[in-house]
Amino acid sequence: MNAIAPLGVQAAAAFSDYRAGDRERLRDLVALLTPLLWHTARSQRAPQQVAEDAIQTAWLRLVDGADTITDPRGVVSWLVITVKRETWRLLRLAGRETVPDAGVPEAVDLTTPEDEAIQTDQQRVLWRHVSELSERCRALLRVIAFAATPDYAGVADTLGMPVGSIGPTRGRCLAKLRTALLSDPSWEA
Amino acid sequence: MADELIPGADELLDATDERILTHLATLYTRIDPVPADLLERIDFRLAVAELEADIAELTRGELVGVRGEETDSVTFTSGSLSLMVTTVVSAHRARIDGWVTSPGAEVDAVAEGVTRSVVADDDGRFSLDDVPRGHVHFVVRRDGYRPVITPSMEI
Contacts of B12 in chain A (CB under 8 A): 164, 166-170
Whether A91 is covered by a domain: the verdict is yes
Residues 88-117, chain B, touching A (beta carbon < 8 A): 112-113, 115
pLDDT in tens, A45-94: 899 999 999 999 999 999 888 778 888 888 988 999 999 999 999 988 87
pLDDT of A156? 62
Task: Say what percent of chain B tops pLDDT 70.
Answer: 92
Residue A1 binned pLDDT confidence (cut-offs 50, 70, 90): very low
Decide if A164 and B12 are in contact by the 8 Å CB cutoff: yes
**Span A124-136, average pLDDT:** 91
Q: Can you tell me the distance from the alpha carbon of B132 to that of A152, in angstroms, rounded to the nearest whole number? A: 36
Contacts of A145 in chain B (CB under 8 A): 21-22, 24-25, 28
Compare all CA atoms of chain B with the CA of A181 and give the residue at the minimum distance: B20
Decide if B4 and A172 are in contact by the 8 Å CB cutoff: yes
pLDDT in tens, A101-111: 433 344 444 45
Contacts of B38 in chain A (CB under 8 A): 34, 38, 52, 55
Whether A102 is covered by a domain: the verdict is yes
Contacts of A164 in chain B (CB under 8 A): 10, 12
| Domain membership of residue A95 as a residue range | 7-182
Number of domains in chain A: 1
pLDDT of A159? 65
Whether A61 is covered by a domain: the verdict is yes
ipTM given for this complex: 0.81
Q: Which domains does chain B have, with CATH numbers?
A: 38-154 (2.60.40.10)
pLDDT of A117? 66
Compare all CA atoms of chain B with the CA of A166 and give the residue at the minimum distance: B12
Best residue in A17, A141, A149, A159 to probe B by mutation, most B CBs within 10 Å? A149
The answer to whether the beta carbons of residues B127 and B146 sit under 8 Å apart is no
Q: Average pLDDT of chain A? A: 80
Residues 4-43, chain B, touching A (beta carbon < 8 A): 4, 6-13, 16-32, 34-35, 38-39, 41-43
Q: Average pLDDT of chain B? A: 86
pLDDT in tens, A4-15: 567 888 899 999
Whether A11 is covered by a domain: the verdict is yes
The answer to whether the beta carbons of residues B76 and B58 sit under 8 Å apart is yes
Partnered with residue B135 across adjacent β-strands are B154
pLDDT of A150? 46
Whether A19 is covered by a domain: the verdict is yes
pLDDT of B54? 86
Q: Which of B20, B30, B38 minimises the CB distance to A181?
A: B20
Q: Which of A35, A152, A167 minimises the CB distance to B34?
A: A35
Counting one residue from chain A and one from chain B, the pairs whose CB atoms sit within 8 A come to 135
pLDDT of A56? 92
Task: Name the region of B61 (left: φ>0; alpha: ψ -120 to 50; beta: rest).
Answer: left
Whether A1 is covered by a domain: the verdict is no
In total, chain B counts a number of residues equal to 155
Helices within chain A (DSSP H only): 7-19, 24-42, 48-64, 75-96, 121-131, 135-147, 153-156, 171-182
Whether A189 is covered by a domain: the verdict is no
Whether A18 is covered by a domain: the verdict is yes
Q: Which of A38, A168, A176 minimises the CB distance to B6?
A: A176
The answer to whether the beta carbons of residues B50 and B147 sit under 8 Å apart is no
